[in-house]
Structures are given as C-alpha cells and as structure tokens.
Chains A and B, each alone.
Chain A
C-alpha cells in the first residue's frame, strides 16, 4: 500500500486529538510561561517586567502562608490516609467474608463529586446549626458544640474531609499491588510459624515496595495540588487558616469576594509566576521523595 497515503490517513485520525491538546492543553501553559514575566491585570497592555514578579513572590507573606498551609494539609492527609488505606488493603486482600462489598463501600467516596460533598460536609460541620454539633449537644458530649470551621479546627476538618475522599482510592491501588504477591509465600511462612504481623512486616511491606513508592508519590502530588474541596468548604478561611497554594493561585485569576484584600484584583502576570513557583514546589517535593525512597529501598 501507498506509504504517503497511509501517513495522510494517520495524521487525519490524529488531528482532532492533537489539535485539542495543543490549543487547550499546551497553549495555556505556554501562555502562563510568557506572562509570568509581565505586569498584566487583564486590562490595558501587558508590560514586560523581567523577574519582578518573582521578587514579589519572595516578599509575599500570603503566598508563603499558603505554602506552609499546603504542607500541613498534605502532611496531615498523607499521615492519615496512607496507613489507613494500606491497613484496609491488607485486610481486604485476605479471604474474609463480604470483602467485595467492603471494597465497594470504601471506594464509594471516589466516585462522588468533591464539590458536592464539600457542600454536604459544610452542612455537617457548620459550627452554627451544623448536623454534627446538633448531635454533640443532644447527647451532651459538648455543651455548645465544637467550632469545626473556626480558626482552631478548620485545618483538621478539611484534612478529615480529604481523607474521607482519598482512602478508598489508595486502598484499591494497594490491593492491586498486593494481588501480585504470590499466595504460597504466606503459606510457607505460616508453616514456619510467622504470625500475621510478622508476615506484614517481612513479606507484605518489602514485596509491595515499588507499588508503595508509586502510590505515595501519587498521593503527595494529589495532596499538594488539591484545593477544590477547601474552596467550597472554607474558601481558605477563617483568616487564611486553610488557604493552600493552589487556592491562593485560583484567587489571583478569579477573585472571590470576602477573601484577603490583596487578592481582590485580577493578577494575571503575577498569578502566572505564582503558578510556575507552585509547580516547581510540587516538582521539587516529588523529586526529593523519589530519591529519598529509592535510597531507603537500597538500604533494605
């Protein structure tokens, strides 16, 4: 068959996908890459200002506050969700009754909209008239309820909501990894008298190594870049207590009423620089984790 005719066919089939990806996927990133060197607020002409946006980032206390919050949020989410999902996977990999049903139950939160559940969690955790506080008061656990979305507990609340949505996903990924460990390794080790905890420590964990490493990597990236749920639940408040990096970035492009004064105006140029900086921070953390976990594997 004619070779150039084949190539023409291939390109014609590739065209819709390639065009959409280039125009709506790659071009916007290039756009940000250009405007991070400009002073541009969405109106008038954009003015080239070199690296001024980046020196502004260094002085931007609100941004660094959001970076610290991102670390607290991501750290809390990981510390709770990874061990919990690993434990669940280890249990539900065994032949216990109803394990299919339990897997489906734990995975359920991942099919529901984060934004919709954030609205629901708002009505549950709302400090005034919230459903949870109604019950705490009714059963005399707390006399006036707990200020779940207040300055003291808001971060904990958004972390718990994030853990609720994430555990099932990581459990399933761990389960996929566990299914690659041959059954007879467990059988022969239990003949040798190993108990379940020893089996977990000396068989499951080492053999799950690469999968564990990959899932944690995925979880780190997800935790660092997530903000949708926080946006709906607390809008970053109160007083910036739950404002994470990517939420701050969002507000620079789409100012939300009620947020801190400095983000009331659109900042396309500065926002692009913040986006670049945030992407670099996520990339750096992932790289550090990648090398650190590889070293740990070697020591093992």
Chain B
C-alpha cells in the first residue's frame, strides 16, 4: 500500500513537471535565444548562449525598426483600453440602471457580434469604411475597430455593475446629483475592480492582435505593430540571417505581458473562470 502510494505520487509529479517543461520551454528558448548570435541560433544546438549578446536588443531596436513597432503597439493598446472601458462602462451603466425602449435589441446585438464567426470577410468593409473616413493612413482606424469589439467587456462590466448597490444611486439622486454626475463620481470609482480586469483583458487582446494591424499597415511599415513587424521578419528575404532579431523582437512583445501576468495572474485566471458563468 505504502509503496503503491509513493509510485503513484512519483508518476503524478513526473507527468506534471514534464508538462510544465513543455509549456515553458518555447518561452525559455525565446528569452535565451534573444542573446545568441544568428549562427549560434541556427547551428549551435546550445541551450545557454555561449556569449551573452545584449547588443541584439540595441540592433533590433534601431536597425530592425522595433522602436517604431513598440511605440505603435503601445499607442494601439493603450488607446484601445481607454476607449473600450469608456464606451463599455457607459453602456453597462444605462443598461443596468435604466429602462428604455430598445434595451433588449441592444443587448441582443452585443451577444450576436460575440457569437458569429465569419472570419476575415469583415476586414474588407471595415477597411473600405476607414478609407472613406480618411482614417486608414493612421492607427486610428485600427484603434476604432478594436474598440468596436467591446461586447465581452460590456458583459463583464455589466456583471460588476450589478454588484454595486442601487441605494447609492438613490442617495445621490436625493442629494441632487444628476445621472451623469452620479456615473462619473460614484459609479465609476466603485467599478474599479471591474475596470481593472477589463483593462487587463483589453490590453492583452490589443497588444497581441495580428490580423487587423496587418491588413491596415501592409504598405505602411511606419505604422506596423510588434506582432506585424515581427511576423514580417519571417517572410523577408533576409529571414535566415535575422533569427536573433526575431528572438529579441519576440521578447519585446512577450515580456511586457508576461511581467503583467507574473503580478496579476490571479486576475487573468479569475477572468477566464468568470466567463464560464456569464
């Protein structure tokens, strides 16, 4: 009985550690690889870099345009987070606290956009629309489209909104506060935790987005984000000689989100688990 238990435990831990290894190794390879030379990466078969080349980052930053890509990724992600939270929290406030004609239609529309899977076809009319609005030659087109996909954040904020007692609205109304002022000064601060998780999720989505910025910046390298610029390295004619830039660039893209994850992994995970009930 005793030995059986020990064997069982050993098998269990070998299984868990092997899986953890497989999960982590691609990221470890990326981080270690970002310090190797191109030839060490393509022929060296080493685990640790034989010599740590921190210069890869400086070169990727200057010569491979990663400074531009990083800046663009930051602009897109931060604007999308701000816009999404604003638009979605305003909508969630009136949908939860007020009755008006068309509320059901609005909610239905939001869930419809979440569940219909039509793929890349929507990118075409979206692009044409931005050309007409003269927003295709800046990142605003990309940002607006990313903000428009706020259905899931709306539903998340709606569930957080339900947790804020209505008595607070009442009290504010009796004190003479307008609906708008109640939202900005009372509801929004109390919505903090919801906004935090929403921000995390929107940031992750916008930062990692690939297809939308790809389509919008195909002929405009100065507007490309990290994901697009990085994937383009793979297609380039000199791809074979730039593996070390690929690794450094991949790190620039992965590390900010990974650092956020180290500190806030509970929030990331809570969010996914919560979506099951919503």
By a beta-carbon cutoff of 8 Å, the part of chain A in contact with chain B is 1, 6-7, 9-11, 13-14, 16-18, 20-29, 31-32, 84, 88, 91, 96, 102-124, 129, 131, 134-135, 137-138, 164, 167-169, 172-173, 175-177, 211, 214-215, 221, 224-225, 227-228, 232, 246, 249-250, 253-254, 268, 271-272, 275-276, 278-279, 282
Contacts and interface: CB of A to CB of B under 8 A. Distances in A.
Contacts of A108: 23-24, 27, 258, 261
Interface in B22-61: 22-24, 26-27, 29-30, 33, 41-45
B82 interface: no
A26 B88 CA distance: 17
A28 B122 contact: yes
A164 B42 CA distance: 23
Contact of B118 (A9, A16, A176, A278): A278
A246 B231 CA distance: 19
Given A28-B121, A254-B120, A121 B210 contact: no
Interface string B79-98: 00000001110110111001
Interface in B245-277: 246-247, 250, 253-254, 257-258, 260-261, 265, 268-269, 272-274, 276-277
Interface stretch (B144-152, B160-168, B191-199): B144-152
Given A26-B109, A131-B41, A134-B44, A119 B233 contact: yes
A9 B250 contact: no
Given A14-B94, A24-B148, A253-B123, 8 more contacts: A20-B87, A23-B129, A31-B125, A113-B254, A117-B250, A119-B233, A246-B119, A275-B118
Contact of B126 (A14, A24, A137, A271): A24
Which of B106, B148, B179, B268 lies at the interface centre, i.e. has the most chain A CB atoms within 10 A of its CB?
A: B148
B258 A112 contact: yes
Contacts of A249: 119-121
B125 A123 contact: no
Given A14-B95, A102-B20, A115-B210, A123 B41 contact: yes
A115 B116 contact: no
Contacts of A279: 116-119
Contact of A116 (B109, B148, B254): B254
Interface residues of B, number: 89
A112 B254 contact: yes
B130 to A, nearest CB: 9
A36 to B, nearest CB: 9
B134 interface: no
Contact of B119 (A104, A221, A250): A250
A96 B12 CA distance: 11
Interface in B112-143: 112-113, 116-126, 129
Interface of B is mostly: helix
A185 to B, nearest CB: 20
A115 B227 contact: yes
Contacts of B257: 111-113
14 contacts: A18-B109, A29-B122, A103-B269, A108-B23, A111-B258, A117-B26, A117-B250, A119-B233, A172-B273, A176-B276, A176-B277, A177-B276, A232-B231, A250-B120
B237 interface: no
Nearest to B38: A129
B147 A114 contact: no
B190 interface: no
Contact of B210 (A114, A123, A254): A114
B121 A275 contact: yes
B121 A271 contact: yes
Sort A-B residue pairs by CB-CB distance and give the 9 closest, nearest first: A113-B208, A115-B210, A24-B148, A176-B273, A28-B122, A275-B121, A134-B45, A17-B91, A31-B125
A279 B112 CA distance: 13
B189 interface: no
Contacts of B112: 26
B171 interface: no
Which of B119, B151, B173, B258 lies at the interface centre, i.e. has the most chain A CB atoms within 10 A of its CB?
A: B119
Contacts of B16: 91, 102
A111 B206 CA distance: 12
B60 to A, nearest CB: 13
Contact of A17 (B45, B87, B268, B272): B87
A112 B230 contact: no
Contacts of B147: 20
B246 A123 contact: yes
A63 B58 CA distance: 45
Contacts of B207: 113
Contacts of B254: 112-113, 116
A16 B148 CA distance: 9
B70 interface: no
Which of A22, A112, A279 lies at the interface centre, i.e. has the most chain B CB atoms within 10 A of its CB?
A: A112
B226 interface: yes
Contacts of A253: 120-121, 123-124
A279 B119 CA distance: 8
Nearest to B265: A104
Contact of B144 (A20, A27, A228): A20
B30 A120 contact: yes
